[in-house]
Amino acid sequence: MNRQPEQHRDQSAGRLLGADDPDPVWIANAAGASNLLLTCDHAGLQVPAALGNLGVSAADMRRHIACDIGVEALGRLLAQQLDAVCIGQRYSRLVIDCNREPGSEGSIAEISDGTTIPGNLGLTPARAATRRSEIFDPYHARLVSELDARRERRQPCALILLHSFTPVWDGTARPWHIGLLYNRDARLARTLQQALQQQNAADLLVGDNQPYSGSDGTDYALNRYGEARGLPYVELEIRQDLIGDSDGQQRWAGRLARALPVAFSAL
């Protein structure tokens, strides 16, 4: 049986996260020396205790609508193999999507891939603002802090945004193994595509702004930190069935750990 959302704590105490709720941000390899900075906007599955389970079934919480499957493990592996910092977000994208502009369509989804999210229906502006201030804002503040520190010490930096996508959407198969997303700045996407193709992976199907496009304006981090700061960046979309288990995560971490430094050095 689904637990229905409980009353929000922000009604009485001005807070959503309680003492037993984890911090929104996790960091892997915090002292990493690499110029590559890894991010995982959709890696988490946590839901604040005050929200119950948002009225969503356990089966749906295991689907792509709740998180980017395989990305947290991939990010942690890559952080180790690249000696890079990886900053991730613990809470489910169904609580608030940390890769969407707050207040925009999809920021707090009422329906996702045909599934209604009861705990998000009729959300008041005050409750939406609390989710932003306690989950979205701390995550992005940590990203900004890391980027600012690198700029202050004049450390070159490239932003690697890690995501995964479902193999089938709305009944349509998506054949790409990995998609390289960008908006106006395609520098790193282009050199990474070349580096991947040089790995004797003739059967590797790479999507150029597929299955999503970084130019549609919906990706918050890509535009806010890559485009606006003039940093080289690429958003990686890996098909989730390829990184859904340990073997796949290890395989793709190794592939990307070889290709990313080559791509960055070619800029």
**Boundaries of every domain in the chain:** 9-265
Of the pLDDT bands very low, low, confident and very high (cuts 50, 70, 90), residue 42 is very high
The angle, 0 to 180 degrees and rounded to 10, between the axes of the packed helices 187-197 and 246-265 is 120
Residues 13-37 have pLDDT tens digits of 478 999 999 999 999 999 999 999 9
| pLDDT over 80 (residue 2) | no
pTM of the model: 0.93
What's the rounded Cα separation, in Å, for the pair 54 and 71? 22
- Phi, psi of 152, deg, nearest 5: -65, -35
Average pLDDT, integer, range 165-175: 89
What's the rounded Cα separation, in Å, for the pair 146 and 87? 9
The CATH code of domain 9-265 reads 3.40.630.40
Mean pLDDT of the chain: 93
What's the rounded Cα separation, in Å, for the pair 103 and 24? 19
Which pLDDT score is estimated for 200? Answer: 67
Residues 85-128 have pLDDT tens digits of 999 999 999 999 999 999 998 999 999 989 999 999 999 999 99
